[in-house]
């Protein structure tokens, strides 16, 4: 499952990161947030407060191909709205696997802070709209392939 921190602005993101008991494995964010804030602002705040790489997944209803190219050029993942649950699950799993392979994951290597040693399962979600999943909601599980007898 996922431990979700929900923030609707850069300020809320900073507050959650400061108070959280562990660092996030993944940032899932809309590109356009409230006011003039964007996912770029959230990532900047994240990088200031988290001493390790955190993968970014931008989910956006904006159909501008240049925006998608810009997001991908930063090494972030891109997903169009409406979000497909299977695709979302795949992207989340890839991001968590990517983090697990880094030297700083789980507190080993470069990061000596207590938040690095805590289990890293937090996800920060930023959006200007109300969330479709409430905090603490688990991502849908893949259906079992067992055959009935």
Long-range contacts of 56-62 (CB under 8 A, 24+ apart): 56/26, 56/27, 56/29, 57/26, 57/27, 57/28, 57/29, 57/91, 57/92, 57/95, 58/29, 58/30, 58/31, 59/28, 59/29, 59/30, 59/83, 59/88, 60/30, 60/31, 60/32, 62/31, 62/32
- The answer on pLDDT for 105 being more than 90 is no
Question: What is the tens place of the pLDDT at every residue in 77-88?
Answer: 999 999 888 999
Question: What is the tens place of the pLDDT at every residue in 44-75?
Answer: 999 998 888 889 999 999 889 999 999 999 99
Question: What is the tens place of the pLDDT at every residue in 4-18?
Answer: 788 888 999 999 888
Nearest Cα residue to 66 out of 53, 57, 78: 78
Question: What is the tens place of the pLDDT at every residue in 111-134?
Answer: 556 666 554 444 555 554 444 444
Nearest Cα residue to 2 out of 88, 111, 98: 88
The residues, ordered by sequence, that sit 6+ positions from 149 with a Cβ below 8 Å of its Cβ are none
Strands (E), the chain: 3-7, 24-29, 56-60, 77-80, 122-126
**3-state class (DSSP) for residue 60:** strand
């Amino acid at each position: 499952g996922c431990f979700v921190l929900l923030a609707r602005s850069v300020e809320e993101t900073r507050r959650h990161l400061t108070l959280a008991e562990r660092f996030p494995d993944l940032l899932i964010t809309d590109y356009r947030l409230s006011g003039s804030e964007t996912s770029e602002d959230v990532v900047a705040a994240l990088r200031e407060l988290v001493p390790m790489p955190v993968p970014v997944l931008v989910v956006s209803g904006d159909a501008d191909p240049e925006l998608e190219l810009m997001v991908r050029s930063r090494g972030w993942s891109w997903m169009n709205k409406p979000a497909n649950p299977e695709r979302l699950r795949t992207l989340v799993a890839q991001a968590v696997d990517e983090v697990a392979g880094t030297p700083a994951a789980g507190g080993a290597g470069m990061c000596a802070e207590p938040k690095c040693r805590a289990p890293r399962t937090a996800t920060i979600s930023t959006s200007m709209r109300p969330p479709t999943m409430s905090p603490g909601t688990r991502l849908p599980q893949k259906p079992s392939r067992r055959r009935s007898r």
